[in-house]
């Protein structure tokens, strides 16, 4: 896995296709979560970072676009100051907080400049 160099001002675009397999028009909510796989302090198993809604007719497929700012990957460290720790972060998207129903991608972050 190649590290993704980021700065606070960087924004990642996450896109996911959603299909209505039902017989009626529906509105689906797609949630965006992150999980820091190894941090110096305990991190949530799923941390909500955003959501979007999409309306779909029966059989229709649409794309949901979500944004995640690199600065949103900071967290309070042991000294209660915001920190960014390079390493593996899971990006998870789906219709709920049930991990078995989420699409997961892992990215490796590193700073492109000292913070």
- Residue-by-residue DSSP string for 36-93: ESS-SS---SSEEEEEEEEEE-TT-EEEEEEEEEGGGG-EE-TTSSEE---EEEEEEE
- The chain-wide mean pLDDT, for the chain, equals 89
pLDDT at 6: 63
pLDDT at 4: 58
Beta strands at 82-83 and 11-19: parallel, antiparallel or unpaired: unpaired
Structural domain count of the chain: 1
| Enclosing domain of residue 25 | 4-111
What tokens does 107 get? Answer: 């990215």
Cα distance between residue 15 and residue 12, in whole Å: 10
111 has which bridge partners?
Answer: 6
CATH number at residue 34: 2.60.40.10
pTM of the model as a whole: 0.86
């Amino acid at each position: 896995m190649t590290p993704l160099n980021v700065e606070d001002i960087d924004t990642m675009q996450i896109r996911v296709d959603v299909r209505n397999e039902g017989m009626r028009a529906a509105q689906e909510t797609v949630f965006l979560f992150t999980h820091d796989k190894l941090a110096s302090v305990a991190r949530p198993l799923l941390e909500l970072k955003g959501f979007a809604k999409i309306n779909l007719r029966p059989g229709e497929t649409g794309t949901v676009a979500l944004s995640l700012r690199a600065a949103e990957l900071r967290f309070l460290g042991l000294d209660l100051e915001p920190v960014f720790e390079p390493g593996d972060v899971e990006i998870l998207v789906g219709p709920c907080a049930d991990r078995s129903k989420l699409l997961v991608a892992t990215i490796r972050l590193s700073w492109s400049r000292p913070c």
